[in-house]
């Protein structure tokens, strides 16, 4: 079992594959680079908290210049971030960012690992982080990563000694790394891991410092550097035609969901690491100095090295296959190594090199990318040797049948075979393994310990090709893939996945009922196979009514959908709960939603999540009807206001004029509008005049950095970085009698229950006395922050500035946030409220 459970993720260097889905087809210079890596027996683990924290310059340098086996351990998958390329947020964004990291590593030559920690949102301090993460589990996962990967060197991205100076996740990652370094070799720590791996002691621990951590370049220049090592990561690779820093930029640019496109630089550049633990190398430009990284470090390795160093030396760039006889000799010797760790790693590496040297191409293509349990699939199998090396295809094994062939693989002669693959009725569906069970706010739940740390769910369906090369048996295992021709993109690959025969979704994730009226809710059922017949019902809270009780579905073709409508009637009083569709087919129930994630820069992803939507009956009164919305960096506030019955019109900034504004009861400005919309600085006076004439203007948060105008408000107002990240933080009413807390909705403490992610951010910290601060709140151990909601009368109207996170609370269906916002929009109105 030991061997099986080792994480088998090998990244060989290959820059020219531009599409993450396609198989790697390395050039001669890339093969030579991989032979150099084969001959370097040392490893580096880079450690931080999020996708994008990693220093791709240093990772690329370690993988491509030093030739070390290099991995990035990101504690989280980055679910908490924002998505610049599509609608996916939370766990779906985590799936995208996982794949972006894998694509980045395929470019810079590193490997990728994770822990079970969830990126739950911003925290100011490691104490706050560790109150939400399960410290023991995350530490256990860091220890496991070290025991499995067995790094000689660990490099932390962040400083474990400066809590509070950066994101709490960052500091925590460094603190856990320091703690893990001292216990990974102790068999009494996390002993359950030792059933599948062994203890390990890394030799050195570094912190990847830079001037940034010193406050300025000047301070860094003056600092004592006796404990630092400096490496020139600007090195140029002539056989690739790129500088290391250019490769690093190509890698970093894969973080597309975060908009981290990066332009390459050239020329010498120093990167610094500070020694935290272990002995200081004599050569302070080489982090491996004094560590044996040759084949002689492995028992029985010397003889292998004697062959492979010669292969590296005499490699023929015009005829890589000339190296195969010697590579096969080394391959045989590797098979007799006692050390399982090195045997497994180096076997896989050398096999990939042998295949690349011979132009060996082995592929198993399914006729579809989605199959269901019980289905039979046709497979097209291709095997070709594009070298004069003698090879025989002995047999291939689909995991269900082994088919004996005993056919010669002649030079450049294509062999093609057809097989069928019967998927078992009890086959599990494929989905990211960390999303199959419901986790906590801070942790993913992973039932199978063998999966912990893996970047993605291992492929279930593979074809193993048993070959004879130079009279020696060698097996290659290839995942079954789906391949199609796209008229525009050309060859497109997708993973082959198992989906349920039925899935269902409700498009709106939060449905707000602002009065007693029923709403028609469409449920979309998707067939995973042809001829799907069944019924759909909805699970719903007791106080609500649903009709009809069930609906029949009949879908003729696989992949097609059918929409059925249910009428949902809310209770009379404020209430919330979940509705979830259940599709019943032949006595089996299906409750999941199937989500496809399709972007060009990452492989196609299929994710199954529980299908559910939140339904909220609000007890809400409103004044005014017509809202003008000026968009900022993007939020769903307009849609949310529409859900509670307002007419919302988006006003293009260039159309802001006294005439347009006069149609609206209130104007709302989207998040970070004054950071992102240049035109607004010319329109402020028009907006202020609108207020003066009796209008209401609500401005949501902006950051103090890079404001397009100093004149945010008709009065002095100064933004700060004050934020309250604890969504449970107590809220005090500074002005309990103020209309915004009383009319038309009476706001109480209850309205601040159930908030998500945070209270708010970038609150002003100084304001003109015309403003009335309404609320006070603060994170643990901090002073009271009173700038979250500021109201000022100006002329006959009102100006309101708020850093409260309405943009996060609305999509989560938080009742109190809606009620408070309705009061803000109603301020100054004296007629009878609507929707009593």
Which residues are near Zn ion by CB under 5 A?
Answer: 50, 53
Residue labelled with tokens 């930029």: 249
Q: How many CA atoms lie within 13 A of 293 on its CB side?
A: 23
Q: Which is nearer to Zn ion, 53 or 635 (CB)?
A: 53
Helix, coil or strand: residue 166? coil
Q: Where are the beta strands (DSSP E) in 548-640?
A: 550-555, 561-569, 575-585, 588-590, 592-597, 605-610, 613-617, 626-630
Name the CA radius of gyration of the chain, rounded.
Answer: 30
The end-to-end CA distance of the chain, in Å, is 67
Cα 445 from chain centroid (whole Å): 16
Q: Which two tokens stand for residue 618?
A: 């609000």
3-class DSSP state of 44: strand
Q: Which is nearer to Zn ion, 50 or 483 (CB)?
A: 50
Q: Are 425 and 104 in contact (CB under 8 A)?
A: no
d(CA 307, CA 305): 5
Q: Whole-angstrom Cα distance, residue 121 to residue 779?
A: 14
Nearer to Zn ion, 50 or 204 (CB): 50
Which residue lies nearer to Zn ion by CB, 53 or 809? Answer: 53
Task: Determine phi and psi for 502, rounding to 5 degrees.
Answer: -140, 145
CA 410 → CA 351, 414, 478, 488, distances in Å? 19, 8, 21, 34
Residues 96/257, Cβ–Cβ less than 8 Å: yes
Question: Going by C-beta distance under 8 Å and a sequence separation of 6 or more, which residues neighbour residue 291?
Answer: 42, 152, 153, 203
Helices 340-357, 324-335: inter-axial angle, 10-degree rounding: 160
Q: Shortest Cβ distance from residue 399 to Zn ion (Å)?
A: 40
Query: Which of these, 632, 553, 644, lies nearest to 590 by C-alpha position?
Result: 553
Smaller CB separation from Zn ion, 210 or 472: 210
Other C-beta atoms closer than 10 Å to the C-beta of 191 total 10
Please check whether residue 740 is in contact with residue 826, taking contact to mean a CB–CB distance below 8 angstroms.
no
Q: What is the smallest separation between the CB atom of 123 and Zn ion, expressed in angstroms?
A: 11
481-486 vs 490-495, strand pairing mode: antiparallel
Burial class (CB in 10 A: 0-12, 13-18, 19+), 131: middle
The neighbouring-strand residues paired with 407 are 393
The phi and psi torsions of 763 (rounded to 5 degrees) equal: -70, 145
Q: Give Cα separations from 750 to 576, 725, 814, 815, 816 (angstroms).
A: 14, 19, 11, 9, 7
| Nearer to Zn ion among residue 53 and residue 349 (C-beta) | 53
Shortest Å distance, C-beta 57 to Zn ion? 17
Both tokens of 685, joined, read 């006076």
Give dist(CA 685, CA 133) in Å, integer. Answer: 48
Closer CB to Zn ion, 30 or 53, in the complex: 53
The residue number whose beta carbon is nearest to Zn ion equals 50
**Angle at which helices 244-252 and 90-108 cross, to 10°:** 160
What tokens does 822 get?
A: 């309705």
Q: How many residues does the chain have?
A: 836
471's CB contacts (< 8 A; 6+ apart) are none
CB 204 within 8 A of CB 154: yes
* CB closer to Zn ion, 167 vs 346: 167
Kindly tell me which of 53 and 501 has the beta carbon lying closer to Zn ion: 53
Contacts of 781 (CB under 8 A, 6+ apart): none
- Nearer to Zn ion by Cβ, of 90 and 225: the residue is 90
Sequence-distant (6+) residues with CB within 8 A of 707 are 674, 675, 719
Q: What's the min distance (Å) between Cβ of 119 and Zn ion? A: 9
Rounded to a whole number of angstroms, the minimum distance from the CB of residue 789 to Zn ion is 29
Report the nearest approach of Zn ion to the CB of residue 50 (Å): 4
90 contacts 78 by C-beta, under 8 angstroms: no
Whether 479 contacts 491, CB under 8 Å: no
């Amino acid at each position: 079992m030991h061997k099986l459970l080792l994480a088998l993720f090998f990244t060989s260097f290959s820059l020219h594959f531009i599409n993450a889905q396609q198989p790697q087809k390395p050039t001669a210079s890339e093969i030579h680079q991989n032979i150099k890596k084969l001959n370097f027996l040392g490893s580096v683990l880079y450690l931080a908290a999020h996708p994008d924290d990693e220093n791709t310059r240093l990772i690329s340098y370690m993988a491509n210049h030093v030739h070390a086996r290099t991995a990035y351990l990101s504690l989280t998958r980055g679910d908490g971030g924002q998505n610049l390329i599509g609608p996916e947020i939370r766990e779906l964004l985590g799936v995208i960012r996982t794949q972006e990291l894998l694509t980045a590593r395929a470019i810079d030559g590193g490997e990728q690992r994770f822990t079970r920690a969830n990126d739950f949102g911003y925290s100011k301090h490691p104490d706050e982080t560790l109150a939400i993460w399960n410290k023991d589990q995350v530490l256990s996962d860091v220890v496991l990563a070290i025991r499995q990967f067995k790094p000689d060197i660990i490099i932390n991205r962040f400083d474990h000694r400066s809590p509070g100076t950066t994101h709490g996740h960052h500091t925590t990652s460094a603190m856990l790394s320091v703690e893990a370094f001292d216990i990974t070799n102790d068999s009494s720590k996390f002993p359950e891991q030792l059933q599948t791996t062994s203890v390990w002691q890394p030799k050195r621990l570094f912190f990847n410092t830079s001037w940034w951590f010193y406050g300025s370049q000047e301070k860094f220049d003056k600092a004592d550097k006796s404990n630092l090592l400096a490496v020139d990561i600007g090195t140029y690779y002539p056989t690739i035609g790129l500088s290391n820093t250019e490769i690093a930029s190509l890698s970093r640019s894969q973080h597309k969901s975060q908009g981290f496109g990066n332009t390459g630089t050239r020329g010498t550049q120093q990167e610094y690491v500070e020694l935290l633990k272990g002995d200081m190398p004599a050569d302070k430009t080489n982090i491996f100095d004094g560590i044996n990284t040759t084949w002689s470090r492995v028992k029985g390795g010397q003889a292998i090295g004697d062959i492979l160093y010669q292969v590296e030396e005499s490699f023929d760039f015009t005829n890589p296959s000339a190296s195969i006889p010697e590579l096969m000799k080394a391959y045989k010797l590797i098979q007799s190594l006692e050390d399982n760790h090195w045997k497994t790693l180096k076997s896989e590496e050398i096999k990939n090199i042998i295949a690349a040297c011979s132009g060996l191409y082995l592929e198993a293509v399914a006729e579809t990318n989605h199959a269901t349990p019980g289905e039979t699939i046709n497979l097209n199998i291709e095997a070709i040797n594009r070298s004069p090396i003698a090879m025989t295809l002995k047999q291939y094994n689909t995991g269900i049948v082994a088919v004996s062939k005993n056919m010669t693989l002649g030079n450049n002669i294509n062999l093609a075979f057809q097989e069928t693959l019967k998927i078992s009725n009890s086959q599990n569906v494929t989905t990211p393994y960390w999303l199959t069970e419901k986790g906590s706010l801070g942790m993913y739940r992973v039932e199978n310990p063998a999966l912990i740390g893996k970047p993605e769910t291992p492929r279930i369906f593979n074809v193993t090709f048993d070959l004879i090369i130079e009279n020696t048996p060698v097996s290659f295992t290839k995942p079954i893939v789906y391949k199609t021709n796209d008229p525009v993109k050309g060859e497109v690959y997708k993973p082959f996945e198992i989906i349920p025969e039925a899935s269902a979704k409700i498009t709106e994730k939060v449905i707000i009922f602002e009065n007693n009226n029923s709403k028609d809710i469409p449920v979309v059922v998707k067939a995973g196979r042809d001829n799907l017949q069944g019924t759909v019902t909805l699970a719903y809270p007791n106080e609500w009514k649903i009709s009809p009780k069930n609906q029949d579905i009949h879908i003729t073709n696989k992949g097609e959908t059918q929409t059925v409508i249910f009428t949902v009637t809310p209770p009379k009083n404020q209430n919330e709960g979940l509705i979830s569709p259940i599709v019943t087919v032949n006595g089996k129930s299906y409750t999941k939603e199937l989500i496809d994630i399709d972007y060009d820069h990452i492989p196609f992803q299929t994710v199954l999540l529980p299908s559910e939507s939140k339904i909220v009956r609000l007890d809400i009164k409103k004044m005014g009807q017509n809202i003008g919305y000026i968009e900022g960096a993007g939020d769903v506030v307009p849609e949310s206001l529409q859900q509670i019955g307002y007419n919302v019109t988006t006003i293009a900034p260039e159309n802001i004029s006294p005439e347009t504004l006069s149609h609206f009861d209130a104007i709302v400005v989207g998040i970070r509008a004054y950071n992102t919309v240049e035109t607004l600085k010319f329109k402020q006076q028009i907006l202020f005049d609108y207020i003066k004439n009796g209008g209401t203007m609500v401005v949501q948060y902006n950051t103090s950095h890079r404001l397009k105008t100093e004149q945010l408000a008709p009065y002095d107002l100064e933004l700060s970085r004050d934020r309250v990240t604890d969504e449970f933080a107590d809220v005090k009413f500074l002005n309990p009698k103020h209309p915004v807390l009383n009319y038309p909705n009476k706001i109480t403490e209850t309205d601040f229950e159930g908030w998500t992610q945070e209270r708010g951010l970038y609150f002003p910290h100084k304001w003109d006395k015309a403003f009335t601060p309404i609320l006070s709140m603060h994170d643990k151990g901090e002073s009271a922050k009173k700038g979250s909601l500021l109201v000022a009368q100006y002329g006959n109207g009102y100006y309101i500035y708020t850093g409260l996170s309405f943009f996060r609370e609305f999509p989560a269906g938080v009742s109190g946030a809606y009620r408070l916002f309705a009061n803000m929009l109603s301020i100054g109105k004296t007629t009878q409220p609507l929707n009593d």
